[in-house]
Amino acid sequence: MSEHRLAVQAEQEEIQAAVAPRPRLKEKFWEGRAAKGALVFLLVLALQIPIFFIDGVIGERRLRSHQATEEIASKWGREQKIIGPVLTVPYERRVEQEKDGKKIETQVIEYARFLAEELRIDAQVDGSLRHRGIFELPVYRLELALTGWFQRPDFSLLGIEPSRIFWDRASLGLLISDPRSITSQVECSGMKRSWRPSL
């Protein structure tokens, strides 16, 4: 009788073991380290999508900012650098050249340039803002007054005869990096003069 019970109990245990749900491969996978690593990788990959879009927006804004700056600069003027005033005096110089075994003397016009001996600069800068879309750019207006004097140039150091110096063709100039932004005439010794391009 006891042997029969043991046999029945053993059969029941075998049936329960066969009927009991076995752990599925998918459940084992999600419980392992590989699953956690894959999940982290997927999250990092998903976070790259908004970063990609943000980079695109930043690049577009940078391009539009550059375009707005160029548009305003083309109408208002770019960064200014002013050098001078410079006194330019033309003179004639003799040059000897050898051609076909003969020496030929020619006259060449050259220019000597001199800076002021003393110079005082009075400047007034007024700033304002220009708007292009969402961009706001500062621009400046400059009123400049230059006061100074030049010492009479000594051409003897260059070996130039006084008769070869063209004082009547001497000119006074300023070197300006972007002359398009000049909006008014220059006043020199109480006389208004127009700007013109030079050397």
162 Ramachandran zone, left/alpha/beta (phi>0; psi -120 to 50): alpha
> What's residue 158's pLDDT?
78
Signed CA dihedral, 67, 68, 71, 76: sign only: negative
pLDDT tens per residue, range 155-182: 888 788 888 889 988 888 888 877 777 7
**Is pLDDT at 38 greater than 80 in this prediction?**
no
Question: What pTM, to 2 d.p., does this model score?
Answer: 0.55
Average pLDDT of the residues in 12-40: 60
Span 183-192, mean pLDDT? 70
Mean pLDDT of the 93-108 span: 79
Helix (H, G, I), strand (E, B) or coil at 106: strand
User: Is 78 exposed, middle or buried (CB count within 10 Å of its CB: 0-12, 13-18, 19+)?
Assistant: middle
Q: CA 164, 169, 174, 177: dihedral to nearest 10 degrees?
A: -90
With contact defined as beta carbons under 8 Å apart, do 198 and 171 qualify? Answer: yes
Tokens at 64, concatenated: 């539009």
- Describe the strand order of the beta sheet including 102-115 as a list of residue ranges: 102-115, 82-99, 171-176
Q: Is the pLDDT of residue 60 over 70?
A: yes
Which structure tokens are listed for 160? 């130039």
pLDDT band at 93 (very low <50, low <70, confident <90, very high): confident
Task: Encode pLDDT of 64-84 as tens digits.
Answer: 888 888 887 777 777 778 887
- Nearest alpha-carbon partner for 92 in 76, 80, 108, 113: 108
